[in-house]
Structure 1
Amino acid sequence: MPAGTDPQVSSIAPRSAAIAVWNIHYNYHRPHSAAAGKPPAACLRESVINVEPSYI
């Protein structure tokens, strides 16, 4: 296989970006029944300062 054409290596960046978006949604926007319909991050005692600007 020629250098730079490994499908696993070339697909890491898109997967990493997708996981980052999913993680923000899962923790900061997804309602959770155990938290009275609030997202899990709403249960934190400290404020969250590392949320992507597009999700604020």
Structure 2
Amino acid sequence: MRRKYRISGLTSQATRELTFPVDERGTMKSVVEYFYETYGFSIQHTQWPCLQVG
């Protein structure tokens, strides 16, 4: 069965500007890097905002 997600909004920043901590030392990784390294997926429209789901 496929998961359903509810969109709660859009980020105020473009996708290429979004980063998050990946470890306890505070090392930051961009969303674009994370998706490429984790899923092998290159985000094409990095100037657009991301969806916020939850």
TM-score normalised by length of structure 2 = 0.35
Bigger proportion of residues as strand: 2
Q: Which has the higher helix share?
A: 1
Give me the TM-score of the superposition, normalised by structure 1: 0.34
